[in-house]
Structure 1
Amino acid sequence: MNKMVNNFGKAITVFCALLFILHTTRAAPTQKNLFNQATKAIPGIVNGSPKIVHIVNFIRLLEPRDPAITEEVLYQTVVKQVELINKYQLSGTFLLQYDALLDNRYQKLLKSLPKDRFEIGGWLEVPRPLAQNAGLTWRGNSAWDSRADVDFTTGYTPKEREKLIDTYMASFKKVFGYYPKTVGCWYLDSYSLNYMYQKYGIIASCNCKDQIGTDGYTLWGGYWNQAYYPSKLNAYMPAQTVKGQIPVPVFRMLGSDPIRQYDNGIGTGHQGVVTLEPVYKFGGGDSTWVNWFLKTLIDGEAMAFGYTQAGQENSFTWKAMQSGLSYQLKKIAALQKAGKLQVETMARTAIWYKKHFKVTPVTAVTAMEDLPGKNQKTLWMDSRFYRINLLWHGDQLRIRDIHLFDQSFVSPYFSQKAVGPKCALFTLPFVDGHFWSNKADTSRAGLVFWIKKQGVFEKMQGGRPTITRLDATKMQISWPLQNNAGILNIILGERNMNVQLLDAPENTIWKMSLLSFNNTELPFKQINTNSIQCQFKNHGYTVNLLKGQFVDQSKTPTDHQIYSITPRKGSIEFDFGVR
């Protein structure tokens, strides 16, 4: 009987939280008055925004998947990481898994580090000692089991999560004399994050980059880089209001390639890794790629701030990471000395972030130059309402991705534990250039721009785009078309996107259309003239047009076009803020 009462009470609590968040969705402060203050806060300011690097290494005690990776190999990896960070007098953040937290070697090593340059925090995966010391039955096949329903807090009930957290925090305080300010994991659920914020005062967290199927779990459609305030009901979903958010910034990890990571693995259900991680030969282990990646961080328009995470967990071993990590940190140290970026601990950046941003800010990742011999450009922009990605391939432009954020979208793991070895978290798709595409390079989904020539619509072709920040929440993309056909002008705002064709010959006809090559995934329920009603994972949402009109082609798609958008008085304007 008591169980029934408790479950009923929980249900009422969640229902009330949903009602409250829905009621307050529209009321939130703007960022405009905060931007100038934010850019004065720390060094490493280029083009008006700080460029911040975190060196984050998290520590496991053991690696049961490979007998050659002994506890001593893992420990010596951390010793070498410390030596390298000290060599260049950089700052570093070390996050301890529970089994490593209990080990005397790591305790002695980490206690000896200068507190002004190093932060020691928590890494909340669940190994056997943590489960057992919390009074829970261990379900793993070894002392640490990477399966999502065993390893992550999502594999446990809310009450079990509290026990795991209380046990971790008590041990951490016993060792270091304080509670950690930063606690991260590949994914942490909102119940656990909020519990640690309210009871233990954590100020920062981090989670994995977007990925599909990698390591048995999927994170797709989130705030793409930098950091966001998560919804109280869904830690992967940025909140839109102060009342609806957990005031703990969540930093996205691993430094994704902004051009190539997204398309990796199309049609396979599994992505490889193209990131700053130094163990990967194409990515963080390649000096050419590293130079290009850091140049995009420094030179690219970032809006509120630019950010990436360097470092590597010790389970990859020093032998595998030595060359790549040594090159990276030498390069990063030189860039910091030149005043082009700032290396900080995660807690320090979180203090700055919380001071200057009351809600999730508008940020961007801009790569207007590609690797040598390549010819792609990209822009990612994130706000608390949506994310968008523009990709130029040669002389053509495609909006590759638009995902919407809604703090009332409850995570499947908010009150229920994960079942099975895989875990999947999504936001709300409006354009998905990965899942709606096929393997062939000519079968890529997205919003495409068309111009009418001699009675026939052709894809727009253009030259080099120009990216301009208009203010703290708006950026402008100007793309000159070939043959003096005009300039495609796109203004991205915190919740709106406006598209115009400027300086075009009189009576020019143009439009946009959504191309899809995998219609089984589409969320569109009803395409109206001025709005599209969508549903994804049983959650309804709407995209409105303030200018222009939708033309439904979903019943008889022509050339894979699901809908077209025609301008009104020369303009198309989307509202991505309606929920």
Structure 2
Amino acid sequence: MDAHLLAYLTDRYEIVASCNCKDQWGTDGYTLWGGYYNQAFYPSRLNSFMPAQTKAQQIPVPVFRMLGSDPIYQYDLDMLDENAIQEVVTLEPVYAGAGEGSGGRGGGGNPYWVQWFFDLNFRAPALSFGYTQVGQENSFGWPRIKDGLIDQIGLLQTWQERGELIVETLADSGTWFKAEHEVTPASAITALHYWKEEGRKSIWYCSRFYRLNLFWEDQQAYIRDFHIFDERYAERYLHEPCRTADSIYDTLPVMDGARWSNSLIKAGIWPMVRSSDGELVPLRCQEDSLEVTEVSQDELLMVAEIIEGGTLRINCSQNSVTIMADQCDWGLQMIWSDRKQEPHMIAASDEIGYEYNGYHYTVHCKKGDVGELSKGAGSIWIQPESGVIQFCLI
């Protein structure tokens, strides 16, 4: 639903809630990319996919994200191939995780995956509230969805009887959200283990200013995704019709590990340290040492123990990201491939400027020093200031 229609329905008919599909690249011809990853947000009057920063510029109806994306695998599944159709690992009961594309990773038709997914949504740190939408998008037919849906409903009934969650309609959720939140609250999805115990972890933090994904594998924690939310960035079809068979709704990338990686380079913002011979190597942490704490209603702290001693700490607040490490010669290395998906970037000592889809925006480095931009398969080195690097979004 675009900004025109959503604003009209809200202003004229006072609808209390709306919902849109999960983040996806090209599925069924529709791309929704870089949005508020789960839970709900108040959209901008210029862009129904973009959370607004101010009450004056927001459409006063919450938009809930649908389908329940796997927070570890859905984001970059099959995305190394630019021409691939992205596979699906969601709570939809038609997906049991047995298909070749999903790699047996699970989905709403797999009871073990569903139990894990409910655990991370309703028992792990979520800040404002934990949430998922249950049901099946599109008409796959009862024979294909019945086993998974019946299992999910039974599990929901058990959890509701224990007082661990509330099952309600979209309208009821929207009414509650509007009563509790005048602007978009911060939220989180915390997956510190996987149902198949593969060692990967993923934490999504969203506020009305940005979203960030901290990903963990092979004893390394790095920022896999970082998108800015700016209510002034208009959706692509606000003033012009969509004249193609597919459409794109998006936000503003700072780092897009899914779209900017290739088979040789894993794009991300990586904590690195200089070895004794001067080489940059990944900062490695103790296995299973990552802990997540809700500092306040809009602040999330992620801490891991560094193998050489000390800790790596990533603090997400509603308009800033702060990274600290107890190492003498560490920093952050932003790296990406030459897939030409990334925006034009300009690095200065205290900021990184971007131009994407004709729109200019900046990430300020309040603490730390931004090095020169390396072209091609690119990189930017960010040196900490007194052991701290801090990005500010306003």
Instruction: Tell whether the structures are fold-level matches, with TM greater than 0.5.
Output: yes
Partner residue of 1:138?
none
Once residues 456 and 430 of structure 1 are traced to their aligned partners in structure 2, the CA distance between those partners, rounded to angstroms, is: 26
Partner residue of 1:129?
none
The 5-angstrom pairing of residues 120-159 of structure 1 reads none
User: Quick check: 1:220 aligned with 2:33?
Assistant: yes
Count of aligned positions: 380
User: Quick check: 1:477 aligned with 2:335?
Assistant: no
Q: Deviations over 1:458-487 (max 9, x none)?
A: 101112211111111211111101132x20
Which letter maps to 1:532?
I
User: SS at 2:22's partner residue?
Assistant: coil
Once residues 143 and 368 of structure 2 are traced to their aligned partners in structure 1, the CA distance between those partners, rounded to angstroms, is: 57
Partner residue of 1:330?
154
Once residues 469 and 290 of structure 1 are traced to their aligned partners in structure 2, the CA distance between those partners, rounded to angstroms, is: 24
Correspondence for 2:116 among 292, 304, 311:
292
> Is this contact kept in 2: 1:278–1:321, CA < 8 A?
yes
Correspondence for 1:462 among 270, 285, 290:
285
**Range 416-425 or range 354-363, more displaced:** 416-425
Correspondence for 2:267 among 445, 465, 470:
445
Partner residue of 1:235?
48
User: SS at 1:320's partner residue?
Assistant: helix
Once residues 289 and 394 of structure 1 are traced to their aligned partners in structure 2, the CA distance between those partners, rounded to angstroms, is: 22
Comparing both structures, which one devotes a greater share of its residues to helix?
1
Which letter maps to 2:5?
S
Comparing both structures, which one devotes a greater share of its residues to strand?
2
User: SS at 2:127's partner residue?
Assistant: coil
Which letter maps to 1:197?
T
Larger radius of gyration: 1
Question: TM-score, with normalisation over the residues of structure 2?
Answer: 0.94
User: Quick check: 1:431 aligned with 2:229?
Assistant: no
Partner residue of 1:528?
348
Which letter maps to 1:476?
L
User: Quick check: 1:277 aligned with 2:92?
Assistant: yes
> Is this contact kept in 1: 2:122–2:131, CA < 8 A?
no
The 5-angstrom pairing of residues 11-160 of structure 1 reads none
Which letter maps to 1:466?
E
* Structure 1 residue 519 displacement after superposition: 5.0
User: Quick check: 1:399 aligned with 2:219?
Assistant: no
Partner residue of 2:196?
372
* Structure 1 residue 394 displacement after superposition: 2.7
User: SS at 2:69's partner residue?
Assistant: coil
**Identical residues among aligned pairs (%):** 39
User: SS at 1:513's partner residue?
Assistant: strand
> Is this contact kept in 1: 2:338–2:378, CA < 8 A?
no
Once residues 219 and 562 of structure 1 are traced to their aligned partners in structure 2, the CA distance between those partners, rounded to angstroms, is: 26
> Is this contact kept in 2: 1:435–1:518, CA < 8 A?
no
User: Quick check: 1:574 aligned with 2:391?
Assistant: yes
Once residues 139 and 314 of structure 2 are traced to their aligned partners in structure 1, the CA distance between those partners, rounded to angstroms, is: 45
Which letter maps to 1:365?
I
* Structure 1 residue 299 displacement after superposition: 2.0
Partner residue of 1:384?
208
Once residues 280 and 87 of structure 2 are traced to their aligned partners in structure 1, the CA distance between those partners, rounded to angstroms, is: 36
Q: Deviations over 1:215-274 (max 9, x none)?
A: 111000001110000000110011000000000000000000000001112123431111
Correspondence for 1:360 among 180, 184, 190:
184
Once residues 205 and 137 of structure 2 are traced to their aligned partners in structure 1, the CA distance between those partners, rounded to angstroms, is: 28
> Is this contact kept in 2: 1:513–1:561, CA < 8 A?
no
* Structure 1 residue 313 displacement after superposition: 3.9
User: SS at 1:387's partner residue?
Assistant: strand
Which letter maps to 1:209?
K
Which letter maps to 1:544?
H
User: SS at 1:219's partner residue?
Assistant: strand
Partner residue of 1:501?
325
Q: Deviations over 1:293-332 (max 9, x none)?
A: 1111122110001111111146111111100100111011
User: SS at 1:448's partner residue?
Assistant: strand
Partner residue of 2:6?
193
Once residues 568 and 222 of structure 1 are traced to their aligned partners in structure 2, the CA distance between those partners, rounded to angstroms, is: 31
Q: Any gaps of 5 or more consecutive residues in structure 1?
A: 1-187
Which letter maps to 1:498?
T
**Range 409-418 or range 356-365, more displaced:** 409-418
Correspondence for 2:15 among 202, 213, 227:
202
Correspondence for 1:245 among 46, 49, 58:
58
Which letter maps to 1:332?
L
Once residues 295 and 320 of structure 2 are traced to their aligned partners in structure 1, the CA distance between those partners, rounded to angstroms, is: 14
> Is this contact kept in 2: 1:524–1:532, CA < 8 A?
no
Partner residue of 1:50?
none
User: Quick check: 1:307 aligned with 2:124?
Assistant: no
Correspondence for 1:268 among 74, 82, 86:
82
Q: Deviations over 1:422-455 (max 9, x none)?
A: 11111000000011011x3x53110011112213
CA distance 1:295–1:200, shift in 2 (3 Å): same
> Is this contact kept in 1: 2:189–2:203, CA < 8 A?
yes
CA distance 1:224–1:313, shift in 2 (3 Å): closer
Q: Deviations over 1:473-530 (max 9, x none)?
A: 211111101132x20111111010111113x4xxx11010111113522224321000
> Is this contact kept in 1: 2:42–2:61, CA < 8 A?
yes
Partner residue of 1:518?
338
User: Quick check: 1:541 aligned with 2:355?
Assistant: no
Which letter maps to 1:448?
W
